[in-house]
Chain A
């Protein structure tokens, strides 16, 4: 592929990705509005989300213009700052829905969630460690210990859903860099004591599992959420109930505008209306995956694929919980759920991905913006 063709391809992909991301975010705003139409102030959440969207789009556009070398050189510093914020939130954070994971900005009523902002920096750090090391046990151990250290403050919040996203992304990155399978197989042995400790500290997780296994045994208790997801999606059917008429989402779903937004969309738009949204999200991820493979820089390539995997894993966990194939866990649907931190961090991640695509040429290190 010659220089011009590649530049045009990159430009077209960038514009396409930006437009699709914006479209998905607007779709998310509609879903958020729809989940609150019967509430006292239906415009409250969607109004805030629109403000976050404007800010996040600007952050994405800005982040993609910064040369990727900047992110690469400052990966460790960025990760250290975000890690400190993960520790600080345990001491000075605000507890929301039983989780100490937010900083409340005193002069506004807004909250920010460090574990969301930490995602791109975690991937940058893992890529830094993976690319610079050899394919030996030492590198694997370094990656494992870094992930473990990262997970401790998140599990202490406690936020098992986000921890699972980080863990699965770590496994994917290890697999991508060619870590021998025998090393990866040692992970369950390493993780079992941690899992036992987490379950011991948070007995609610076991309850969620029992409710997930047999929701009819305790339909008003541990099986409640699973049941409500099933009822809500069933009400959506093929084409959904009318917009603004999502009674079940408004009344029964836990956090219908964030952790259950997929089921909210399913009730409003039905199977036929929800599938295109998912296909668009999948298309964005797939296009960037494919583009990443054409880049020569290993660090950039690994970062793009690692970050996209994290977003894909989070999306799939969210949907799996909403279609009742995983026990309930509080996780947002990237780009579509309510939450300023989630939206800002996802678009920041896309900004860094686009920077990696734009500022790296397969042969000469040419920047698209030069």
Chain B
């Protein structure tokens, strides 16, 4: 049997203890939300936010008649990042990807990044979305390729490009001469990364928009450029 007076006293003690606990929680809540707010926001941003540059597509080079001599094409490749060094995990991922992309290559464990599939189609990218969420080892990377019109001798006159710090840079020929005009100005944006360094969906925030380069129209025709080379 419960003694009513004693019971009331015990209940008061329980309420007091619970209230003490609640006050402690509130104090800590106040500390993080108000007192140490700036410190933790800074720490969080340092851990999660990254500022990245993005480059507009390199513009075209045209001849006097408007024939496109050089242009850029964008492709998306599927890579396997060896995060765990586990052959079992690599095999499992390979099996799951192969179901969607039968021509996929088995990832090697010798390198950190190994290519599994080149030039993904938009439909294939959408189909891979769930696997990329499930396996942080998988990564889709964009790749820009510079193409030149197929005409004898034109390639050496137009020039070559090379990837330097994530963007295409002309190293000789017209590509080098008009490099700045063709490339434009890179943009800047801020993203948030998860604990596996993957971008968090919808977390991108633009800081500066990229300004696309301008198409360069030469004062020579395709034939004249090739003739000039022969001379």
Contacts and interface: CB of A to CB of B under 8 A. Distances in A.
Interface residues of A, number: 47
Interface stretch (B14-22, B62-70, B148-156, B160-168): B14-22
Interface in B1-49: 1-3, 6-8, 10-11, 13-15, 18, 21-22, 24-26, 28-30, 32-34, 36-41, 43-44, 47-48
A340 interface: no
B37 A234 contact: yes
A275 interface: yes
Interface stretch (B178-186, B194-202, B206-214): B194-202
B192 interface: yes
Given A38-B201, A176-B10, A233-B40, 14 more contacts: A38-B202, A131-B2, A175-B10, A176-B11, A176-B14, A231-B43, A236-B33, A237-B34, A238-B33, A251-B194, A271-B33, A309-B14, A316-B22, A319-B22
B10 to A, nearest CB: 5
A286 B15 contact: yes
Contact of A231 (B6, B24, B25, B40): B40
Interface residue SS majority, chain B: helix
Interface in A177-232: 177-178, 219-220, 224, 227, 230-231
Interface of B: 1-3, 6-8, 10-11, 13-15, 18, 21-22, 24-26, 28-30, 32-34, 36-41, 43-44, 47-48, 192, 194-195, 200-203
A267 to B, nearest CB: 9
A325 interface: yes
B25 A325 contact: yes
Nearest to B196: A220
Contact of A301 (B2, B18, B21): B2
A118 interface: no
B25 A271 contact: no
Contact of B203 (A247, A274, A316): A247
Contacts of A235: 41, 44
